[in-house]
Structure 1
């Protein structure tokens, strides 16, 4: 099974660490895009805040792997 990573604003993602997920805080759109490009190959699921998903744009999320989901607003 692959790694699960949460990306986005610290206030919205910090709790995922309690469930054992990797959390990569990113407040700025450029940082979100950099983290997305640097995802390790073993990542199976990425949980994004709405702001992080907006920074990536719809095309970045329209890929078969890794599976990406966006938190509700």
Structure 2
């Protein structure tokens, strides 16, 4: 089973569910978090803002499965 990662501002609570949390509050930290994802990550949850920052990256890949959280 693959790991779940969460990227965005204010996502620390997801660690309680076992997710790998990347609390990223600005564009540069969102991109760093995305590029640091390990190969065993199967699902990435993104805040709406993180998804906006990664719009180009998300259209260029089929890995991992990405879910954008509602506001």
List, as ranges, runs of 4+ consecutive aligned residues in structure 1 with deviation greater than 2 Å. Answer: none
Count of aligned pairs between the two proteins: 70
Match of 1:43 in 2: 41
SS of the aligned residue for 2:22 comes to strand
TM-score by length of 1: 0.87
Q: How far 1:64 moved relative to its partner? A: 1.6
SS of the aligned residue for 2:49 comes to helix
Within the alignment, does 1:5 sit opposite 2:5 as a pair?
yes
Aligned counterparts of 1:50 and 1:44: Cα–Cα separation in 2: 19
Which structure features the higher share of helix residues? 1
TM-score by length of 2: 0.90
Give ranges in structure 1 of 5+ residues lacking alignment: none
Match of 1:18 in 2: 16
Q: How far 1:19 moved relative to its partner? A: 0.8
